[in-house]
Amino acid sequence: MSLKLYNSLSSKKEIFKSISDKKVKTYGCGPTVYNDPHIGNFRTFVFYDLLNRVLQLNGYETETAVNITDIDDKIIDRVNQENTSLKEITSKYELSFMELSKSLKILPNNHNPRATEYVEEMIEFIQALIDQNLAYEMKGNIFFDIEAYPKYGKFVNINDELETEDNELLKRNRNDFTLWKAKKDSDGEIFWNSEWGKGRPGWHTECAVMIKTLFDGRLDIHCGGIDLKFPHHENESAQIEALQKHNLSNYWLHAEHLNMDDEKMSKSLGNFIDVNNLIENNGSDVVRLFLLSAHYRTKVSFSQKKLDECKKMIEKINRFAKNFKFDDQSIELKFSDDHNLFIDALNDDLNTPEAIGVFFSFISEMNKKIAENSINESDKEKSLVFLKLFNSIFAILDSNNFQDHKIPKEIQTLLISRQEARENQDWKLSDSIRDKIESLGWHVEDTSSGQKPSKKN
């Protein structure tokens, strides 16, 4: 199946066609570095990683950018609260974002541009909009004039009652948005000089200029959370498209919210979950699988139960993988019908739940053959290929976990006792011993050749 993606521009799935033959340029809106990102943020960031891995699976070379927003009202508030510098705050939380991304196996991006590194380009860009009568100045603030750009409103009907920005600044039109913010007393030393006076660029302009500078203002795919579709992505694209007369991006992909008690998870609501604690308590592989287990366009409610289910799934995969030489790098990735079903699911708008279902159906089929001692060399090769294919996308398996562990004497004794109970058909005792083995960190699987113990991860 050809890769299909749900394009927010058309509100339907479209066959993906890249601008150039085999290179795809993607941009994802990154963190605002005034605090540690929460698990809801990382649902979006892991989605970016999924997209790039699936593009690579389809033979594309990807050039990726995820920006760092290091100029923002919330950052300035944090600087004032802690009586520190802009750089100290932003460096601290940018490092946190990078470390958590690495822990969650997010592939490094080609670019992680910081807004502060592009302010001169932003000033030139804003002046170009003014020169084209697309923007105007009001008391040191610069606004984009949506009336000067008739195509404004690609994502929403702007005649609806929409939340507007900077209402108090005497804008010409209700939905005009800020390109440059005049310095306020609370900004302190955080400002740049321009011919309109001291100030700083607006958020929508920051992203637009970084895209223009890095990618000449033209992307294959622009990603973000669903809450960014309007006004942020609307305003980003309006600036570039009004100046350059072509689409900023051919495809716009938006990930749904991760909710807490049916509300969007956010720092402003105080209902967010710390990623560091989740990883510490559950493991990064469990957290990553949880974030990928639902379709990216589906709202998901956070729960420990779902994390526990993902942990059991990983344990099942690990037990299966221990039957094969997972670290055998010489195996050639020849795809069978089973593998292609998995790839087709991913190519259907990144349908991870279906892909996971295909993979576990395959595991169940192979486990039956293993239990019956009827698995052949072709099955083993297909299994190894599938494990590698699965891990190229989900990245939750570590070959170090598949090494044989020495079975402690206590476990060996319990296994002997359990075998005797089974031979005596004392199933209650057998189950009780199994529970004891599980509590000691081991799993036992009953096969046609006897009990098969394995250490839990």
Cα separation of 374 and 405, whole Å? 25
Domain of 363, CATH number, reads 1.10.730.10
Cα separation of 143 and 175, whole Å? 10
CA distances from 237 to 77, 102, 249, 397 (A): 28, 30, 8, 39
Domain range for residue 422? 409-455
What is the per-residue pLDDT for 220?
A: 98
Cα separation of 79 and 375, whole Å? 62
| 267 within a domain of the structure (yes/no) | no
**Is 12 buried (19+), middle (13-18) or exposed (0-12) by CB count in 10 A?**
exposed
The answer to whether residues 71 and 24 belong to one domain is yes
What is the per-residue pLDDT for 434?
A: 87
Tell me the pTM: 0.85
Domain of 200, CATH number, reads 3.40.50.620
Q: How many CB atoms lie within 10 A of CB 115?
A: 26
Task: Report helix, strand and coil shares of the chain as percent, to nearest 5.
Answer: 50, 15, 35
The answer to whether residues 291 and 425 belong to one domain is no
Residue 12: both structure tokens together: 């339907």
The C-alpha angle 191, 197, 198, rounded to 5 degrees, equals 10
The answer to whether residues 183 and 309 belong to one domain is no
| 371 within a domain of the structure (yes/no) | yes
CA distances from 266 to 20, 179, 233, 272, 412 (A): 38, 25, 19, 6, 49
The answer to whether residues 190 and 232 belong to one domain is yes
| Residue type present at position 73 | D
The C-alpha angle 257, 10, 262, rounded to 5 degrees, equals 15
Residue in 255, 234, 203 with CA at minimum distance from that of residue 6: 255
Total number of residues shown for the chain:
457
DSSP letters spanning 351-418: -HHHHHHHHHHHHHHHHHHHHTT---HHHHHHHHHHHHHHHHHH----GGGGS--PPPHHHHHHHHHH
Per-residue pLDDT of the chain in tens (457 residues, 90 and over written 9): 899 999 999 999 999 999 998 899 999 999 999 998 889 999 999 999 999 999 999 999 999 999 999 999 999 999 999 999 999 999 999 999 999 999 999 999 999 999 999 999 999 999 999 999 999 999 999 999 999 999 999 998 877 766 777 766 778 888 899 999 999 999 999 999 999 999 999 999 999 999 999 999 999 999 999 999 999 999 999 999 999 989 999 999 999 999 876 566 565 656 578 899 899 999 999 999 999 999 999 999 999 999 999 999 999 999 899 888 765 555 566 788 989 999 999 999 999 999 999 999 999 999 999 989 999 989 999 999 999 999 999 999 876 555 555 678 788 788 878 888 887 888 889 888 988 888 888 888 776 556 777 777 6
Cα separation of 121 and 243, whole Å? 15
Cα separation of 215 and 211, whole Å? 5
| 10 within a domain of the structure (yes/no) | yes
Residue 304: both structure tokens together: 């420990």
Cα separation of 288 and 294, whole Å? 11
Helix (H) / strand (E) containing 199: strand 199-201
DSSP letters spanning 73-100: HHHHHHHHHHT--HHHHHHHHHHHHHHH
What is the per-residue pLDDT for 261?
A: 66
Domain finish residue from 387, 402, 417: 402
The answer to whether residues 133 and 106 belong to one domain is yes
CA torsion sign for 76, 78, 83, 88 is negative
Q: How many domains does the chain contain in total?
A: 3
Cα separation of 159 and 147, whole Å? 13
Task: Report strand pairing: 23-28 vs 61-66.
Answer: parallel
Q: What is the DSSP letter of 160?
A: S
The answer to whether residues 396 and 425 belong to one domain is no
Helix (H) / strand (E) containing 12: strand 12-15
The answer to whether residues 100 and 229 belong to one domain is yes
The answer to whether residues 61 and 120 belong to one domain is yes
The answer to whether residues 346 and 374 belong to one domain is yes
The answer to whether residues 369 and 432 belong to one domain is no
**Is 333 buried (19+), middle (13-18) or exposed (0-12) by CB count in 10 A?**
exposed
The answer to whether residues 288 and 330 belong to one domain is yes
